[in-house]
Chains A and B, each alone.
Chain A
Amino acid sequence: MADTNEILAGLAEIVAEETGLDAAEVTAEKSFTDDLDIDSLSMMTIVTLAEEKFDVRIPDEEVKNLTTVGDAVTFIEGAQK
């Protein structure tokens, strides 16, 4: 199981691959849409890749609640248990 920092680092890696941003820019307080300019299709891609990486299930209806990178980290951390 990954801890908070590992999840953040792993998620930042996925976001960086998908968007071309530097992984260091993908910090917990950043908003996926407002700060990272991620559209809904990219968000679904990130979710699918994160589900695989962390072996969790992120339901489609949950995705709209994941405003910031930190929200996603928290959800993934909880879903691992």
Chain B
Amino acid sequence: MTEVVVTGLGTTSPLGGDVATTWEGALAGRSGVSTLDNDWAETYGMAVNFAGQLAVQPSEVLSRPETKRMDPSAQMAIVATREAWADAGSPEVDPERLGAVVSSGIGGVWTLLSAWDTMKEKGASRVLPMTVPMLMPNSPAAYVSLELTARAGAHAPVSACASGAEAIAMGYEMIQQGRADVVVCGGTEAAIHPLPISSFAAMAALSKRNDDPQAASRPYDTERDGFVLGEGSGIVVLESAEHAAARGARVYAKLLGLGRTADGHHIAAPEPEGKGQTRAMQQAVEMAGLAVTDIAHVNAHATSTPVGDMIEARAIRGLLGSHSDQVLLSATKSMTGHLLGGAGALESVFTIKALQERVAPPTINVTSPDPELEVDLVRDTPRALPSEGQLAAINNSFGFGGHNVALVFGTA
């Protein structure tokens, strides 16, 4: 088996425009959620008027032509990619051995809806020629491939809120299958637009805590009332251990295993017993060649919905048994909101940083933990992971449609 390691990290998120600021914000237990910077709620009568908005707009770091040629979802992916690539030491790699796997759960929704607005207001002749290249859901993957001249393959596996994790899983497979030595992979989402917000609100999926947005994302708390939409991108550079060693690259962590299952149950609701989630975690742990007792930390999918959080918590408890008492559980969406297709990637960045620094980030806003929660939840302040020996951690991501993805990372 080819060993796969992580050699670069990048992000732009509600907590910061890069990994250092985002991670520092997470360890500090800061909320990146705020009231919307516009009057949409009033204009459209929206039930939700807050979100996890980007800390640094891509327009502050990209050139004007770049922002005009890319949907915001691709812009965010490019910002995170540039950071990750530089962080990896801009590896010299044959373009045909370099892959790009970057997903979005929703795609270029801003481009699509803005073009439709233009057409309604000004007629068909005013629709811009870049509309299709910008709205297509593979656009972020394609732009990352163009940015780095990645020619081994460019992919965009889509599975709603599991998309970012699924992209990392596919990146792993590209290396395992011998298609690439280095793969830039992750997820991105730019869906803070009145229509997606209202659509999620129509499902009663979103928190309506308009009077206290920073307290709205509260996974595992008894007062949780739905998720908070976030935006941004997370990108990781995966590399075969051999390739990384040959160039003397700094290794953050190893990607040891992955598990992917489907519930086959409901288009939006998770299967109540979390069997598919358990199987995904189990597959990932087995593929990693580990026992469940080797798991020290779990970055949960936990979005702060009344139903979803506890299904996952029971699945974790079911898999880990009494070892759950020794596992530090973090729900970082409490701080970032839910980045949908970007979530699994940003949370992989958090999981990798947690292993590297041997510290589990906190879960904020949990004032009254759900009494059924039987896993050791890290609350308010970070907690140290064991300072000695090899550590492993699971990052869970689940998507509407019953997609379950678990990634197991290990210390370098």
Shortest A45–chain B CB gap in Å is 5
Q: Which residue from chain B places its CB closest to the CB of A20 in the assembled complex? A: B65
B409 CB → nearest A CB, Å: 39
Distance between A44 CB and nearest chain B CB, rounded to angstroms: 4
Chain B residues with CB under 8 A of A57: 125
A48 to B122, CA, bound (A): 12
Partner of A52 from B68, B122, B130, B133 at Cβ < 8 Å:
B122
Residue of A nearest to B129 (CB): A44
Contacts of B68 in A (CB 8 A): 17-18
**A17 adjacent to B64 (CB under 8 Å):** yes
A44 and chain B: residue at smallest CB distance: B129
Give A46 Cβ to nearest chain B Cβ, in Å: 9
User: Whole-angstrom distance between the alpha carbons of A40 and B133 in the complex?
Assistant: 13
**B125 touches which of A18, A41, A48 (Cβ 8 Å):** A48
- State the Cβ distance, B339 to closest chain A Cβ, in Å: 29
- The residue in chain B whose Cβ has the minimal distance to the Cβ of A48 is B128
Is B125 touching A17 in the complex (CB atoms < 8 A)?
no
- Which A residues touch B127, using CB under 8 A? 48
Q: Tell me the bound Cα distance from A16 to B125 in angstroms.
A: 22
Contact, CB under 8 Å: A51 / B65: no
Query: Is A51 within 8 A of B129, CB to CB?
Result: no
When chains A and B are docked, how far (Å) is the Cα of A44 from the Cα of B128? Answer: 8
CB A7 to nearest CB in B, in angstroms, measures 19
How many angstroms from the CA of A17 to the CA of B63 in the assembled complex? 10
Distance of A52 Cα from B133 Cα, bound (Å): 21
A4 contact set on B, CB distance < 8 A: none
Query: Are the C-beta atoms of A52 and B64 separated by less than 8 Å?
Result: no
Q: Is A19 an interface residue (CB 8 A)?
A: yes
Q: Which of B35-66 contact A (CB under 8 A)?
A: 63-66
**Which has the most chain A C-beta neighbours within 10 Å: B64, B122, B129, B130?**
B129
Query: Do A19 and B65 touch (CB < 8 A)?
Result: yes
The distance from the CB of B108 to the nearest CB of chain A, in whole angstroms, is 16
Q: State A19–B127 Cα separation when bound (angstroms).
A: 19
Q: Which of B94-134 contact A (CB under 8 A)?
A: 122, 125-130, 133
| Chain B positions within 8 Å of A48 at CB level | 125-129
Please give, as numbers and ranges, the residues of chain A lying within 8 Å of B125 by CB-CB distance. 48, 51, 57
Interface size bracket, B side: 10 to 19
Chain A interface size, as a band, is 10 to 19
Q: Which residues of A contact B65 (CB under 8 A)?
A: 17-20
Q: In the bound complex, how far is the Cα of B128 from the Cα of A17, in angstroms?
A: 14
Closest chain A residue to B65, Cβ basis: A20
A37 to B128, CA, bound (A): 19
Most buried by A among B65, B66, B122: B65
- Closest chain A CB from B67 CB (angstroms): 10
Shortest Cβ distance from A48 into chain B, in angstroms?
6
Contact present for A45 and B128 (CB under 8 Å): yes
Name the distance in Å between B407's Cβ and chain A's nearest Cβ: 37
CB atoms of A41 and B129 under 8 A apart = yes
Q: Of all chain B residues, which has the CB nearest A17?
A: B64
Q: Which residues of chain A have C-beta atoms less than 8 A from B130's C-beta?
A: 41, 45
**Docked complex: A19-69 residues within 8 A CB-CB of B:** 19-20, 41, 44-45, 48-49, 51-52, 57
In B284-331, the 8 Å CB interface with A consists of: none
Find the B residue at minimum CB distance from A51: B125
A41 engages B133 (CB within 8 Å): yes
A41 to B132, CA, bound (A): 11
Query: CA separation between A79 and B63, bound complex, in Å?
Result: 33
Query: What are 14 A-B residue pairs whose CB atoms fall within 8 Å in the complex?
Result: A17-B64, A17-B65, A18-B65, A18-B68, A20-B66, A44-B129, A45-B128, A45-B129, A48-B127, A48-B128, A48-B129, A51-B125, A52-B122, A52-B126
Chain B residues engaging chain A, CB cutoff 8 angstroms: 63-66, 68, 122, 125-130, 133
Question: Shortest 10 CB-CB distances between A and B: which pairs?
Answer: A44-B129, A20-B65, A20-B63, A45-B129, A41-B129, A48-B128, A45-B128, A19-B65, A45-B130, A52-B126
Given contacts A17-B65, A20-B63, A41-B133, 7 further A-B contacts (CB under 8 A): A18-B68, A19-B65, A44-B129, A45-B128, A45-B129, A45-B130, A48-B127
